[in-house]
Structure 1
Amino acid sequence: MKRKFTAVLVLGISFLISCTNKQEEIKLQHQDITEMVFASGALEADDQYNLTAQTDGYLIEMNLEEGTIVRKEQVLAVIDNDQNIINSKSAVELHRFASENAKSSAPALQEVEAAIEAAEVKVKLDQQQLERYKRLYESNSISRIEYDNANLMLTNSESVLNALKQKYRNQQIIAREQEVIRQYTSKTGKVLEKQNRITSIRPGKVYMKKKQLGDYVRKGDVIAVIGNPDSIFARLNVDETGMAKLKIGQTVFIKLNTHVDEVYKAFVKQILPAFDEASRTFIVKAYFEKTPEFNITGTQLEANIVIRTKKNVLVIPRVYMNYDHKVMLKTDRKIVKVVPGIVSGEWVEIKKGLNAGQTIIKEAP
């Protein structure tokens, strides 16, 4: 393995020497030049979303395949999570009991109500007793102590009655609170039970199936990718150095990795303002003038965004100019510093420093 690597390295060095010994030259001329911003990216469907699991469990039913069209709220998968079902049924029963306890016919409330009725009778009897003792006291038939004891007995009876009434009100509040809590728990249980059935958010096409029947999934796992089949766009990753030049409506020429001989025309429709941390680029959406027949999402692509075009300007190949914007003339091997203009993929505009008809060489200054 080591011998094979050494042979390749020697061939590479030989090739470099032969190139440097051969002097390349070009005669300057005028031509049109187009400035472009390069971007990589992938095809993506409009309204694309991930169909995700909302609970843990095994996939016991799968009703989707790549390329199939799904309706809104169609059940696409079912997760076997018995705990959600058990909790839901239990919550429904507890809510029913809480509702019964909140009614006036509930045993706890009836018990307090019976005690209130007895206390009301006792108060009434004590009131009658106090009135009788008052007349006897006024006629000096009983002592002051006996009258005061009758008055105290009525006061105690009234206190007991008021306490029982307050207890009844408190019992009602607690019962209603429990009913509300159990009702909320019951609704939550139904929601959790419903999460066993995974449904589509909106109609679309299944572009990618990421789980299979029988797989164990956790909450948040992506089961499939669904999008709008009638609208495919190019999601472009643009370096921040080129963002200042981009505008809505600019023309984009796109090559798909699967169709390298085809060039598709598109237009910049949306420039997302936020920096994408995952790709360390800005995201630009370009929509095709004519949607390609090959519209599988995730297809990798390369794109050139047209910034501007200049007609009949002096240009040289980019490889003939070094990083200091210097080139070498053929006549006397003089090094000249130029003022570049717009830059395309292979060419650079020369605004000052050279004239048409001059010949420059590629050999480094």
Structure 2
Amino acid sequence: MSNSSIFLGMIFILFILFSCSEEKNELVVKRSSIVESVYASGIIKSKGQYTLFPKTNGILKNILVEEGDLIRQNQVLFVIENENSKISSQNAYLLKEFNSFNNQKDKLDDILLQIDLAKSKFKSDSINFSRQKTLWTKKVISDIEFEQAELLYKSSKTQTQSLQKKYNDLKKQLQFSEDQSKKTYELSSNNENDFLLKSDLTGKIYGILKEKGEMVGPQNPLAIIGSDKEFYVELQIDEKDISKIEKNQPLEIKLDSYPNQSFSAQITKIIPILNERTKTFTIEAVFSVQPKILYPNLSLEANIVINKKEKALVIPFNYLTLNEEVVLPDGSKRKVKIGLKNFENVEIIHGLKENDRIILPQ
């Protein structure tokens, strides 16, 4: 075979390949539905999920649950020990008992006895003063004798009044001491309850973050707790997309733990403040039908449906140039006007019609 024959054969093969390539890249414009959506990433959270923190400092004496345990509301989960607080509580109890009104009643009884004696003396002195006054008026006794009787009368009267005031003051003081000691003990008891950490809800222990014997305080998280049945989705939305987001919008969710599946959900809450560090907004959504098995912090991706159109003129996004043009089979370019778009497709609202042919831009 001559060299010229080989050369002609190669040209023919290249022509065929080139023609096939062009045929492969050619697209017939068709109508179909298009969904415009906003992408978001996020995690699964348990309903009511919270991190349990101690209210006081101390040693983690007992851990009464394990990770994965189902728990009841108000169930004691952890016990913290603080010897100083324990002693303070005991002292508060002793002080309450000591200052109880009944325990101090003897002091009042002593004064009541003194008041009874003073009243008896006052009565006697009063009668005597009345007699002496009558005699003094008749000039039977001297002025000195009358003045002595009057002095005894006034003295016993003052003594009676003074003891009565002393009784009333002591009664108020004892009542105040009792009330104050009770309040101190109640406060101490409340503080003692702070050493028994309880669950705020019925659910599950998802994580225990400390070990028995460790020092803990209000800044140290102890456990992650949440519902064992109900879950929701927490998503991060870029600030440039937040104006498109509204409550009740539908979305499709994909979970790494459920490959090749998607789940429908609906937006229930938009947290109206920008995270300055990540430049994102947080939104929440609930599943239309919740997957059977979920755990907090499972990662996910979501597409939030912003708009949907049926029978739209649609082309793949990669057939559109950066200048919003399409390439015709003869290589010429045509300006188009676009409508809805997503990561895969774009709607053409002007510049093309159904069954037009375009090719992939080079």
Q: TM-score range by the shorter chain?
A: 0.7 to 0.9
Return the match for 2:348 from 341, 347, 350: 350
Equivalent pair of 2:254/2:263 in contact (CA under 8 Å): no
Q: Return the alpha-carbon distance in structure 2 between the equivalents of residues 308 and 50 of structure 1.
A: 38
Aligned match of 1:233? 232
Aligned match of 1:39? 40
After TM superposition, give the deviation of residue 120 of structure 1 in Å. Answer: 1.7
Report 1:84-123 matches (<5 A): 84-99=85-100, 102-103=101-102, 106-123=105-122
Residue 271 (1) aligns with residue 274 (2): no
Aligned match of 2:10? none
Residue 310 (1) aligns with residue 309 (2): yes
Q: Return the alpha-carbon distance in structure 1 between the equivalents of residues 147 and 341 of structure 2.
A: 111
* CA shift in 2, pair 1:339/1:172, >3 Å: farther
Return the match for 1:262 from 239, 260, 263: 260
* CA shift in 2, pair 1:142/1:300, >3 Å: same
Aligned match of 1:289? 289
Residue 76 (1) aligns with residue 71 (2): no
Equivalent pair of 1:61/1:77 in contact (CA under 8 Å): yes
Structure 1 counterpart SS, 2:262: strand
Aligned match of 1:57? 58
The amino acid that maps onto 2:88 is N
Q: CA RMSD in A?
A: 3.0
Q: Return the alpha-carbon distance in structure 2 between the equivalents of residues 180 and 158 of structure 1.
A: 33
* CA shift in 2, pair 1:264/1:213, >3 Å: farther
Q: Return the alpha-carbon distance in structure 2 between the equivalents of residues 147 and 281 of structure 1.
A: 97
After TM superposition, give the deviation of residue 29 of structure 1 in Å. Answer: 3.7
Aligned match of 2:184? 185
The amino acid that maps onto 2:71 is V
Q: Return the alpha-carbon distance in structure 2 between the equivalents of residues 116 and 61 of structure 1.
A: 58
> Which one is further off, 73-82 or 167-176?
73-82
Structure 2 counterpart SS, 1:162: helix
Structure 1 counterpart SS, 2:310: strand
Unaligned runs of 5+ in 1: 1-23
Q: Return the alpha-carbon distance in structure 2 between the equivalents of residues 143 and 344 of structure 1.
A: 123
Q: Return the alpha-carbon distance in structure 1 between the equivalents of residues 104 and 303 of structure 2.
A: 78
The amino acid that maps onto 2:222 is I
Structure 1 counterpart SS, 2:65: coil
The amino acid that maps onto 1:76 is L
The amino acid that maps onto 1:85 is K
After TM superposition, give the deviation of residue 193 of structure 1 in Å. Answer: 2.2
After TM superposition, give the deviation of residue 27 of structure 1 in Å. Answer: 5.7
Q: Return the alpha-carbon distance in structure 2 between the equivalents of residues 25 and 154 of structure 1.
A: 129
* CA shift in 2, pair 1:143/1:194, >3 Å: same
The amino acid that maps onto 2:51 is N
Equivalent pair of 2:99/2:177 in contact (CA under 8 Å): yes
Return the match for 1:327 from 321, 325, 328: 325
The amino acid that maps onto 2:286 is A
Aligned match of 1:18? none
> Which one is further off, 117-126 or 203-212?
117-126
Q: Percent identity?
A: 28
How many residues are paired up?
333
Q: Return the alpha-carbon distance in structure 1 between the equivalents of residues 324 and 342 of structure 2.
A: 18
Equivalent pair of 2:92/2:188 in contact (CA under 8 Å): yes
- Structure number with greater Rg is 2
Structure 1 counterpart SS, 2:186: helix
Q: Return the alpha-carbon distance in structure 2 between the equivalents of residues 195 and 326 of structure 1.
A: 65
Q: Return the alpha-carbon distance in structure 2 between the equivalents of residues 227 and 154 of structure 1.
A: 79
* CA shift in 2, pair 1:333/1:215, >3 Å: farther
* CA shift in 2, pair 1:110/1:216, >3 Å: same
Q: Return the alpha-carbon distance in structure 2 between the equivalents of residues 178 and 272 of structure 1.
A: 53
* CA shift in 2, pair 1:202/1:64, >3 Å: same
* CA shift in 2, pair 1:219/1:282, >3 Å: closer
Report 1:118-267 matches (<5 A): 118-143=117-142, 147=146, 150-247=149-246, 249-259=248-258, 261-267=259-265
Structure 2 counterpart SS, 1:37: strand
Equivalent pair of 1:247/1:268 in contact (CA under 8 Å): no
* TM-score normalized by the length of structure 2: 0.80
Equivalent pair of 1:235/1:286 in contact (CA under 8 Å): no
Q: Return the alpha-carbon distance in structure 2 between the equivalents of residues 314 and 57 of structure 1.
A: 68
Equivalent pair of 2:104/2:174 in contact (CA under 8 Å): no
Unaligned runs of 5+ in 2: 1-24
> Which one is further off, 208-217 or 283-292?
283-292
After TM superposition, give the deviation of residue 328 of structure 1 in Å. Answer: 5.2
The amino acid that maps onto 2:172 is I
The amino acid that maps onto 1:81 is N
Q: Return the alpha-carbon distance in structure 2 between the equivalents of residues 152 and 219 of structure 1.
A: 69
* CA shift in 2, pair 1:272/1:142, >3 Å: farther
* TM-score normalized by the length of structure 1: 0.79
Structure 1 counterpart SS, 2:182: helix
Structure 2 counterpart SS, 1:42: strand
Q: Return the alpha-carbon distance in structure 2 between the equivalents of residues 181 and 59 of structure 1.
A: 32
The amino acid that maps onto 1:112 is I
Equivalent pair of 2:206/2:225 in contact (CA under 8 Å): yes
Q: Return the alpha-carbon distance in structure 1 between the equivalents of residues 344 and 178 of structure 2.
A: 75
The amino acid that maps onto 1:37 is V
The amino acid that maps onto 1:63 is L
After TM superposition, give the deviation of residue 297 of structure 1 in Å. Answer: 0.7
Aligned match of 2:297? 298
Residues 227-256 of structure 1: CA deviation (Å, up to 9, x unaligned): 222222222223455445445554322122
